Amino acid sequence: MSVAAAITSVNAALTTLKAMRAIEKAYDQAVLKSQLAELMGNLSEAKMALIDAKEEISARDDEIKDLKGKLKKQAETAQFDGYSYAATVEGKPTGAPYCNACIANDGTQIPLSHAMDRHWLCPRCKGIASNVRKFP
């Protein structure tokens, strides 16, 4: 369910309420009870939909917070020759570059490990990079 479902349920409840407001004195008690039951059902559905919507919004807030954290972390990098590096206070690249494949995949910054000669290996995705520069 969603906010749209909650709005639909509340609209149904309001329609029932309008019908009840038009009640005449000689109104049938059974009809009145039936409309009250319908009203309670509509409001219960609206409440459930709003609880679901609250959980969905909360999950999205967590995801936004997580993504903001990743963006902030990525802002603290320096670029060199097509690779991202951790940045010094002056904004210069330092250490080994991060794996481009892992950054493209999910934004995770995995520093490459030196394998042999001019070849570097990602410890996570096992991707290989060649001729990358390591900064002090």
23-52 mask for Zn ion (x: CB under 5 A)?
------------------------------
For Zn ion, which is the closer residue by CB, 57 or 128?
128
Residues of this chain, 73-112, that bind Zn ion according to CB under 5 A? 99, 101-102, 110
Q: Is 127 in the site for Zn ion (CB under 5 A)?
A: yes
Cα gap 61→68, rounded to integer Å: 10
Q: Is 53 helix (H, G, I), strand (E, B) or coil?
A: helix
Asked if residues 77 and 86 have their Cβ atoms less than 8 Å apart, the reply is: yes
Q: How far is CA 91 from the centre of its chain?
A: 30
Q: Is 121 in the site for Zn ion (CB under 5 A)?
A: no
Cross-strand pairs, 86? 77, 94
Residues of this chain that interact with Zn ion (CB under 5 A) are 99, 101-102, 110, 122, 124-125, 127
